[in-house]
């Protein structure tokens, strides 16, 4: 094993990161920078130092992990959270506070966005608590300070209901309101440690967006099992756009709107669904698929990836199919999607939905066929990329799954 491969293995075993998911050259560049900074001869000498030097280990993590977040990154998750807070969780008091986990919290914008959304929905800060975890000490220091440059909004305007909790200072920087400060606790942990760190904790909501895509299959399975254990029945799990629960994950149903990328725990057992890729699992009660905004018309031939006008009735067809899938009627959902494909064989969203349903039924060969067809017509279809990665990973093709997830990340970053 080369020194660089040994360092990669340390990242996997110590913090649960898959270096390949970070980018082919990212780890090599980071190690070369640290070797130069410490005046060492090469990667082998650096590995020897790294094993026992906690400070240098932290420096490598800071070089490898580049947090990328901003306030209210994607509006739909926070809007859904606010609706649940106003309805399902109304009346929760300080004796039974609404509990939210944010992992990873990076530099804090997402955790503070959760707090702002809850306060604006009428949940007073003493009546909710947010546990925000990350492996970067530097990022956590910035998060605790709660002061940000204007670019932390990425040019978006805040909802007027949220502005009382995020002030613009005289120097133009943004500052989190003092009344929210006691509602969020930032602390250091990584995926390998998180099960121990959260032992005995229970949460109404878990935000873990854009983390699982940087983990190998075993770490993802362990993380999802931990989220299942700590999430209360009927609680919400939010994932990133390039992530999804495995198609046959029991105990969860997809929440609307689909662009919120949220799943609700139904209260049934779910840990078995997060076993190794080759495990046999029951089909879920929900298998909804997010469909793309554009799709082909009729039987005309199109260049793959070219924009297409959606034919009348297509959205209604697939909407009905998604509803059936959400209710657990996978056979009826598959029949509708297949009928759509028969008349419009280049309809990528129909192929995606049928692929997801076939995967949920354990028919992975058909699932692979339809998901690949979807990507032929819409190469940037995130849901097709994510679900095809899950199916291939289950069949043992881990390398192909990693490449698909990398493509999904690039699509998500370009949005």
Q: Residues 13, 98: one domain?
A: no
Q: Count structural domains, the chain.
A: 3
Q: Among 336, 347, 342, which residue's Cα sits nearest to residue 308?
A: 347
Strand bridging mode 174-176 / 147-148: antiparallel
Co-location of 321 and 393 in the same domain: yes
Domain boundary among 246, 274, 302: 274
Q: Find which of 35-44, 234-243, 390-399 is predicted with most confidence, using mean pLDDT.
A: 35-44
DSSP 157: P
Same domain as 12, residue 120: no
- Record the tokens describing residue 50, joined without a space: 């790294």
Angle formed by the axes of helices 43-52 and 3-15, to 10°?
A: 30
- Distances from the Cα of 183 to the Cα of 127, 128, 239, angstroms: 8, 6, 22
Q: How far apart are CA 259 and CA 266, in angstroms?
A: 20
Residue numbers of the domain that contains 240? 75-274
Pair (268, 228) in one structural domain: yes
For residues 121-142, average pLDDT: 92
Phi, psi (degrees; rounded to nearest 5) at 132: -115, 115
Q: Are residues 99 and 33 in the same domain?
A: no
C-alpha distance from residue 162 to each of 129, 166, 167, 209, 216 (Å): 18, 7, 10, 21, 37
Interstrand relation of 98-102 and 203-207 (parallel, antiparallel or unpaired): parallel
In this structure, what CATH number is given to the domain that contains residue 321? Answer: 1.25.40.10
What would the pLDDT profile of 305-358 be if each residue is shown by its tens digit?
Answer: 433 444 445 566 777 787 677 666 788 888 888 888 888 888 888 898 898 888
Same domain as 335, residue 390: yes
Task: Kindly write down the DSSP assignment for every residue of 283-329, as one continuous string.
Answer: PPS-------S----TT----TT---PPPTTHHHHHHHHHHHHHTT-
What CATH number does the domain containing 145 carry?
Answer: 3.40.50.150
Q: The whole model's pTM is what?
A: 0.69
Tokens of 279: 């495990």
**What is the structure's pLDDT at 296?**
25
Is the domain of 261 the same as that of 319? Answer: no
3-state SS record for 207-227: ECCCCHHHCCHHHHHHHHHHH
- Render pLDDT for 225-238 as a digit per residue (tens, 0 to 9): 899 999 999 999 99
Shared-domain flag, residues 147 and 80: yes
| 246 and 199 fall within a common domain | yes
DSSP, res 273: G
Tokens of 176: 């989190």
């Amino acid at each position: 094993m080369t020194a660089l491969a040994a360092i990669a293995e340390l990242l996997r075993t110590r913090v649960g990161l898959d270096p390949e998911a970070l980018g082919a050259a990212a780890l090599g560049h980071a190690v070369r920078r640290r070797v130069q900074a410490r005046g060492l001869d090469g990667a082998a000498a650096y590995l020897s130092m790294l094993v026992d030097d906690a400070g240098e280990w932290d420096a490598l993590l800071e070089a490898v992990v580049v947090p990328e977040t901003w306030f209210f990154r994607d509006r739909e998750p926070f809007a859904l959270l606010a609706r649940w807070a106003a309805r399902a969780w109304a009346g929760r008091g300080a004796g039974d506070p609404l509990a939210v986990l944010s992992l990873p919290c990076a530099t804090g914008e997402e955790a503070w966005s959760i707090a702002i959304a809850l306060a604006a929905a009428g949940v007073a800060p003493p009546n909710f608590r947010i546990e925000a975890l990350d492996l970067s000490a530097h990022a956590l220091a910035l998060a605790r300070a709660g002061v940000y440059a204007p670019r932390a909004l990425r040019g978006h305007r805040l909802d007027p209901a949220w502005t009382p909790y995020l002030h613009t200072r005289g120097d133009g920087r943004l500052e989190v309101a003092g009344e929210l400060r006691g509602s969020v606790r930032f602390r250091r942990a990584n995926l390998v440690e998180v099960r121990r760190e959260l032992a005995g904790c229970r949460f109404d909501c878990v935000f873990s967006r854009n983390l699982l895509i940087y983990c190998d299959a075993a770490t993802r399975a362990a993380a999802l099992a931990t989220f299942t254990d700590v999430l209360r029945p009927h609680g919400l799990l939010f994932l990133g756009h390039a992530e999804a629960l495995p198609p046959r994950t029991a105990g969860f149903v997809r929440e609307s709107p689909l662009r919120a990328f949220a799943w609700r725990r139904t209260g049934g057992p779910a840990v078995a669904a997060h076993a190794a890729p080759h495990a046999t699992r029951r089909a879920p009660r929900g298998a909804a698929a997010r469909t793309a905004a554009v799709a082909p018309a009729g039987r005309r031939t199109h260049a793959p990836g070219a924009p297409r006008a959606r034919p009348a009735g297509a959205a209604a067809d697939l909407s009905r199919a998604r509803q059936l899938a959400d209710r657990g009627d996978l056979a009826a959902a598959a029949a509708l999607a297949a009928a759509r494909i028969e008349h419009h064989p280049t309809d990528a969203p129909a192929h995606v939905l049928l692929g997801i349903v076939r995967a949920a039924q354990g028919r992975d060969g058909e699932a692979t066929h339809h998901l690949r067809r979807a990507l032929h017509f819409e190469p940037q279809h995130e849901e097709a990329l994510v679900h095809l990665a899950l199916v291939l990973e289950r069949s043992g093709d881990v390398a192909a799954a990693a490449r698909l997830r990398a493509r999904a990340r690039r699509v998500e970053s370009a949005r």
